[in-house]
Structure 1
Amino acid sequence: MHILFLTDNFPPETNAPASRTFEHAREWVAAGHEVTVITCAPNFPNGRVFCGYRNRLWQQEDMAGIRVIRVWSYMTGNEGFALRILDFVSFMLSSFLAALFVRKPDVIVGTSPQFFTTVAAWAAGAIKRKPFVFELRDIWPESIRAVGVMEESRALDLLEKLELFLYRRAAAVVSVTHSFKRNLISRGIDENKLDVVTNGVDSSSFHQIPKDAALAVELNIEGCFVAGYIGTHGMAHALETLLDAAAILQDDPQAQHIRILFLGHGAARNGLMARAEELGLTNVIFRASVPRNAVPAYWSLLDAALIHLRRTELFKTVIPSKMFECMGMGIPIILGVEGEAAEIVRQTGAGITIEPENSQQLAEQLKTLSCEPQTLKEMSSAGVDAAQRYDRTALARSMLTILKRVAK
């Protein structure tokens, strides 16, 4: 079977969509299938092309047996909603044109979070008369409303109609959460075409490792209790909550051993750094994004991982993919997300949950856990056990079964 996959994120980018697509495609190739990925030159999150690449009309490479075609797109960092839409639309057009030159695919997959990529996959499938599969990573454009990027308007209503059109035209919709599936059923999408393949963890990359002593010295955190947020610093994450908790802890004589580490980029990063300076925080450390193979070293420093989203009804349907990486590495989770993600953490015992945007509760839990090594050890073991249920290899096989069914 020849799988054609359209995604605007792919390694060497290190975000969740890039990792999921690569790890799935790698397993499909290992299973004897042909995989072609159409993407753009790597540029996330800053909108600047990575070293060794150029933003050209067409360039091609082989990555772990995957044929990777990179096409031109307009690139921007987090510089406003209008420019981001221009970025999305440009890739939609160039990926669609590139897909027309890919010979004899059996199935065409387009992945969100934004759905312009799936528009290209649908259009290519319609012209080539091949089934189109929508991989649903986010309920978009509803997530735009949730973070307040754009006010209610006719444009949002039109985007929502396009969203529903794509679900209906898809031969299958592969959702990353059960909550997303229920959302689509409630909006009239045929349940028989909906499948769930959650995010997971590549156990070959994310497993328990000793603390990186040299990095701990470099960051001046030896002997400290380190809680960390690793990932995109976006508007959806409400990371001001973490800074407010840090301010509370900084004024507490019994919490002077606690540090909060931020690693990553995103639209909110500069504002967070400015706020930390304004508050005079000395217990917070910021580090820019690093290559994916360097991320585990930072994970190794953490006594607890902080995973947080803004408090809104939509985010109760979201399962942050970094949860599974934390489980695989045996890092206890402090989760500020309600809904399906919180249920997973509670059921597995891999961490604790807090109310989103509650800085006081976060500070209290950090202070408590920093003095309970046995509790942390139990959470670590529970997370490692739970990670086996979310092994990326098994999940890739589940999605492959869906693609085979659709291709037939």
Structure 2
Amino acid sequence: MHILFLSDNFPPEVNAPASRTFEHCREWVKAGHQVTVITCAPNFPKGRVFDGYRNRFWQSADMEGIRVIRVWSYITRNEGFAKRILDYLSYMVTSFVAALFVRRVDIIVATSPQFFTACAGWAVSVVKWRPWVFELRDIWPESIRAVSAMKASRALDVLEKIELFLYRRATAIVSVTHSFKENLIQRGIAGDKIHVVTNGVDIQQFFPRPKDTELEATLGLQGKFVAGYIGTQGMAHGLDTLLDAATLLRNTVGGDAFHIVMLGDGASRVALQKRAQEEGLSAVLFVDTVPKADVARYWSLLDASIIHLKKNDLFSTVIPSKLFECMAMGTPVLHGVEGESARIITEADAGLLFQPENAEALVAGLVRLRDDAELAARLRRNGPVAAQKYDRKALASDMLRLLQTLGGEADGSGHHPRQAHL
């Protein structure tokens, strides 16, 4: 079977969509299928093309058996609504054009979080007369409202109408959370076309290991209780709460016994760094994004992992992908997200919950993990056990079975069912 996958993020980018897409496609190739990914020049989140790449109209390469076609797009930093829309629209157009030249496709997959990629997926399915799958990673554009990136307007209303149009036209929808599925059903989308394949973790790469003493020394973290936030530093993440916690720790615990490492980039990073500098928060260490292969070294340094999103009903439907990596690493989680992801932590007994945007509660959790060695040890043991349920290989196989069914391979007939709702 030939799977055509549209995603504007792909390695060497290291965000969640890039990792999920690559790890799934890699497994599908290993299973004997042909996979073509149409993406753009790697540039997320700094809005600067990575070294060794150029923003051209067409480039093709092989990555572990995956044919990767990179197309031109308008590149901008991950901030500013208007410029980001131009980014999304440009990729929508050029990915659609590129897809027209990919031959003998059996099924098309288009992934969010922004749904302009899904628009391209639908359009390609119409032209090629093939089924298409909308991989739903975010309820967009509702998430724009949640972070106040754009005021309520007719433009958002139009985007929501397009969103519903795409849900209805998709042959199937693959949702990364059960909450997203419930949201769509409540909005009139047929539940039998929505399939849940959660995010997961490559357990061959992320597993318990001793602290990387060389890296620990380089960063000056010896003898410290190290908490860390690893991932995108965006508007939705409410990371000022971590700086509030750092201030409280300095004023109440004293000294620099606690250090907070913040690894990554995003729309909020510059403002966070500026605030930390102005307030003299020397125990907050900002680290630039590192290659995916090096991320586990930084996880190994952490005595606690902080996961946080702003307090908003929409974010209670989200499962941050970093959750699975820190569980697999055996890092106790301090989890400031309500809803489905909080239930995962509670059931796994892999961390402690705290109320989003509540710095006092975060500090209490940090102190508790430092002072209660038995608790910390239990959480470290339980995380890797729970992570086995989210092995990326198994999840890739689950999604592949769905694609084979939709692509006409379930019975070996070679029949390609026409996209049902053009």
TM-score interval w.r.t. the shorter chain?
Answer: over 0.9
Residue 270 of structure 2: aligned partner: 270
Residue 238 of structure 1: aligned partner: 238
**Distance in 1 (alpha carbons) for counterparts of 2:325 and 2:203:** 8
**Deviations 1:124-153 (CA, angstroms, capped at 9, x unpaired):** 000100001000000000000000000000
**Distance in 1 (alpha carbons) for counterparts of 2:288 and 2:154:** 38
Residue 183 of structure 2: aligned partner: 183
Residue 84 of structure 1: aligned partner: 84
Residue 313 of structure 1: aligned partner: 313
Residue 376 of structure 1: aligned partner: 376
TM-score normalized with structure 2 length: 0.96
Does the Cα contact within 8 Å between 2:177 and 2:198 map onto a contact in 1?
yes
Deviates more, 1:298-307 or 1:278-287: 278-287
* Percent of pairs with identical residues: 61
Deviation of the 1:255 alpha carbon: 6.8
Matches within 5 A, 1:321-332: 321-332=321-332
**253 and 152 in structure 1: CA distance in 2 versus 1, 3 angstrom threshold:** closer
**Distance in 2 (alpha carbons) for counterparts of 1:247 and 1:112:** 36
**Distance in 1 (alpha carbons) for counterparts of 2:241 and 2:103:** 50
Deviation of the 1:290 alpha carbon: 1.1
**Distance in 2 (alpha carbons) for counterparts of 1:397 and 1:379:** 29
Does residue 339 of structure 2 align to residue 361 of structure 1?
A: no
**Distance in 1 (alpha carbons) for counterparts of 2:181 and 2:210:** 39
The letter of the residue matching 2:78 is N
Deviation of the 1:279 alpha carbon: 1.8
The letter of the residue matching 1:9 is N
**Distance in 2 (alpha carbons) for counterparts of 1:133 and 1:253:** 52
Residue 213 of structure 1: aligned partner: 213
The letter of the residue matching 2:196 is V
Deviation of the 1:377 alpha carbon: 1.1
Deviation of the 1:164 alpha carbon: 0.3
Residue 102 of structure 2: aligned partner: 102
Structure 2 residues not aligned, in runs of 5+: 409-422
Does residue 109 of structure 2 align to residue 114 of structure 1?
A: no
The letter of the residue matching 1:198 is T
RMSD in angstroms over aligned alpha carbons? 0.8
**342 and 255 in structure 1: CA distance in 2 versus 1, 3 angstrom threshold:** farther
Residue 292 of structure 1: aligned partner: 292
Residue 21 of structure 2: aligned partner: 21
**Deviations 1:266-297 (CA, angstroms, capped at 9, x unpaired):** 11001001111222212111111111111111
**Deviations 1:74-116 (CA, angstroms, capped at 9, x unpaired):** 1000341100000000000000000000001100000000000
**Deviations 1:58-87 (CA, angstroms, capped at 9, x unpaired):** 101100100000000010003411000000
TM-score normalized with structure 1 length: 0.99
Deviation of the 1:254 alpha carbon: 5.8
Structure 2 counterpart SS, 1:271: helix
Structure 2 counterpart SS, 1:67: strand
Does the Cα contact within 8 Å between 1:258 and 1:370 map onto a contact in 2?
no
Deviation of the 1:345 alpha carbon: 0.2
The number of residues matched between the two structures is 408
Deviation of the 1:215 alpha carbon: 1.1
Does the Cα contact within 8 Å between 2:81 and 2:149 map onto a contact in 1?
yes
**Distance in 2 (alpha carbons) for counterparts of 1:161 and 1:112:** 16
Structure 1 residues not aligned, in runs of 5+: none
Residue 403 of structure 2: aligned partner: 403
Structure 2 counterpart SS, 1:251: helix
Structure 2 counterpart SS, 1:262: strand
Residue 198 of structure 2: aligned partner: 198
Structure 1 counterpart SS, 2:134: strand
**Distance in 2 (alpha carbons) for counterparts of 1:31 and 1:136:** 24
The letter of the residue matching 1:289 is T
**Distance in 1 (alpha carbons) for counterparts of 2:238 and 2:253:** 26
Does the Cα contact within 8 Å between 1:255 and 1:367 map onto a contact in 2?
no
